[in-house]
Amino acid sequence: MKKVLIPTKLDAVARETLGKHGGYEVIQDDSSDIGTLASQHPDAYALFVRSEKVTPEIIDALPSLKVIIRAGAGYNTIDTKYARTKGVDVMNTPGANANAVAEEVIALMLADARHVVRADASTRVGKWEKKSYMGREITGKAVGIVGFGAIGQLVAKRLSGFDVKVLAYDPFLSDERARDLGAESADLEEIFEQCDYISLHMPENEDTRGIINKSLLARMKNGATLINCARAGIINEKDLRELKTDKNLRFLNDVYPKDAEGEKTITDIADIMLPHLGASTVEANYNAALRSATQLIGYDEKGIASYVVNRDVPEGLDRAYSELAFALAHTCRGIAGGNKQMKLIETSFYGDLAQFCDWLLVQIVAALSDDFDRTLGYDAAVEYLKEMGVEYFNRETDTSKGYGNSITVDVTTSVDAAHFQRISVRGTVAEGNMMISRINDFDKLYFEPLGTAVLFIYKDRPGVIGRIGNALAEAGINIDDMRNPHDPSGENSLALLKVSQQVDSELVETIAAQIEALHASCIRF
């Protein structure tokens, strides 16, 4: 029998499910230290955890360990890289707490709208301040949901009984899918300008950190409410502090840089603060526990590894091609612009890469959506595409084209209700280096997708490159590399420049206006 160690307060359904299976011996103890339990059970095959830290020392103490399952979504407390070096797969259970977080958002909205917290405290000490707690109703209001994955979609569903108008922002969400879920697609600016309530449900990464800043907050209605049950780092705290009083904003929060005791920097600006209770429900605990057990059984009996988050590249695949797939899709996303809804993804894998198409699709989906983790599996990617209403088609390749080991990624996005744009990017790996060989009709680029690049398409004529270079130089930005091909018609040119630092959108727009560009974008790889 395989020993499963559960050093945490996890619902008994995990132990019961594994017990009924008959192939597992379960040791569950939430009163002892994880390190102590590990030393007592070095023969453990699997480890189930919640927020416990799984360090290299813990992993070393369990030489028979083959799989760690995080009963929940976030796995930052687990040293996944070290686990990989020891041949240990790390899995999570995304979505198990989605409904719990969605209901928490509704609870915060209602508690704030009706002064539940302050009125309760006042009444308990004998006061009768009914006139001081005039509330407001949610019914009839506009609610913006920023990030329309599993949690965002459930928030919209839970709000349906309030007769509200729901605006949803998610670049990966199709308009049709949004409508099916009772929402209307909108960009960030529209949501912050039009909504009475704004609920955040996006991950924190390089692209989203501090994204809720002065530019967006200044657009909010006077008296509007901002709710953060996602990640602390997506809000620029300083900007919120500067604008909150003047605009009479409300701020409801459940997330912090660290889940720990101690003073919180947002105490002065948060109207309601909770100690990260999003997933703290009996039902969410049950769901995560059941998912943990069933995933382990599926992993052992059927080899199902969809939610392994520290997968290594398959044997026979050069890791550079995994990075290439990600970079090509990221280029498509950058050219399309962050607010465009995805409609269709098409791929072509040439040469020996065809056998790895399932693995490489994961990298492509992760590059196109911040809400999908590139460490997940093919089944999870396909399910995510279905959930978001995005079609996927992998084309059979023509070996006679002589592309060798290369990848083509095509992304079709909506421009407006009646128009679409298709972006096609091809690339390969040469001497260990990633190379973009084609963008739409501009061929033979051989451009390395690293660092920061600016891209302009314009009607071909002399002097344009000089004007771009001058504008960048005046901003103190150096050009490190450049490609400047024509399209087959000879009418249009592409200026693709690798630059020394990030170029802000205002400068890109200024240069685009100066050269009358047909397209302009900045891509950070």
- Got the DSSP string for 29-54? -SSS-HHHHHHH-TT-SEEEESS--B
CA distance 164 to 148: 16
Q: Is 102 exposed, middle or buried (0-12, 13-18, 19+ CB in 10 A)?
A: buried
CA distance 246 to 239: 12
Judge contact between 402 and 437, C-beta under 8 A.
no
How confident is the model over 60-110, as pLDDT tens digits? Answer: 999 999 999 999 888 888 999 999 999 999 999 988 899 999 999 999 999
Average pLDDT in the chain:
92
How confident is the model over 349-380, as pLDDT tens digits? Answer: 999 999 999 999 999 999 999 888 887 888 88
Which of 468, 445, 472 minimizes the C-alpha distance to 456?
Answer: 468
Q: Which two tokens stand for residue 112?
A: 């704030």
pLDDT at 401 over 80: no
**Secondary structure, 3-state, 132-199:** HHCCCCCCCCEEEEECCCHHHHHHHHHHHHHCCEEEEECCCCCHHHHHHCCCEECCHHHHHHHCCEEE
Apex 383 CA angle, 328 and 187, nearest 5: 60
CB-side neighbour CA atoms (13 Å) of 214: 6
Strand partners, 67: 46, 89
CA distance 400 to 173: 36
Phi, psi (5° rounding) for residue 52? -65, 145
- 285-311 mean pLDDT: 91
Q: Which two tokens stand for residue 191?
A: 């949501």
> For the chain, which domains are there?
2-96+282-302 (3.40.50.720), 98-273 (3.40.50.720), 319-524 (3.30.70.260)
**Strand ranges of the sheet holding 479-483, from the earlier edge strand across to the other edge:** 479-483, 492-499, 452-459, 519-524
Which of 246, 423, 279 minimizes the C-alpha distance to 345?
Answer: 423
List of long-range contacts for 369-372, beta carbons under 8 Å, 24+ apart: 369/171, 369/172, 369/342, 370/202, 370/203, 370/205, 370/207, 370/208, 371/147, 371/149, 371/170, 371/172, 371/202, 371/203, 372/172
Judge contact between 5 and 45, C-beta under 8 A.
no
3-state DSSP call for residue 59?
Answer: helix
- 267-271 mean pLDDT: 96
- 376-403 mean pLDDT: 86
Say which DSSP state 356 is in: G
Q: Which two tokens stand for residue 19?
A: 């017990």
| Residue in the structure block whose two tokens are 């280096």 | 433
User: H or E element: which one contains 493?
Assistant: strand 492-499
Query: What pLDDT shows up at residue 419?
Result: 62
CA distance 91 to 80: 10
Among the residue ranges 47-56, 142-151, 201-210, the one predicted with the least confidence is 201-210
How confident is the model over 168-199, as pLDDT tens digits? Answer: 998 888 888 888 899 998 989 999 999 999 99
How confident is the model over 421-476, as pLDDT tens digits? Answer: 899 999 999 988 999 999 999 999 999 999 999 999 999 999 999 999 999 999 99
- 297-310 mean pLDDT: 88
Among the residue ranges 8-22, 130-144, 408-422, 438-452, the one predicted with the least confidence is 408-422
Query: What pLDDT shows up at residue 250?
Result: 97
Apex 51 CA angle, 69 and 312, nearest 5: 40
Q: Which two tokens stand for residue 451?
A: 């660092």
Given the DSSP bridges, would you call strands 433-439 and 442-447 parallel, antiparallel or unpaired? antiparallel
How confident is the model over 115-124, as pLDDT tens digits? Answer: 999 999 999 9
Phi, psi (5° rounding) for residue 406? -145, 165
Q: 371 to each of 170, 198, 208, 313, 375, how far by Cα in Å?
A: 9, 18, 11, 21, 12
Judge contact between 71 and 88, C-beta under 8 A.
no
What is the percent of the chain with per-residue pLDDT over 90, rounded to a whole number? 76
Q: 44 to each of 32, 177, 470, how far by Cα in Å?
A: 16, 44, 64
3-state DSSP call for residue 312?
Answer: coil
Given the DSSP bridges, would you call strands 442-447 and 46-49 parallel, antiparallel or unpaired? unpaired
Query: What pLDDT shows up at residue 505?
Result: 86
Apex 432 CA angle, 478 and 350, nearest 5: 110
How confident is the model over 223-258, as pLDDT tens digits? Answer: 999 999 999 999 999 999 999 999 999 999 999 998
Q: How confident is the model at residue 418 (pLDDT cuts 50, 70, 90)?
A: low
- Model pTM score: 0.79
**Residue of higher predicted confidence among 259 and 109:** 109
Radius of gyration of the chain (CA): 25
How confident is the model over 473-486, as pLDDT tens digits? Answer: 999 999 999 999 99
- 154-173 mean pLDDT: 93
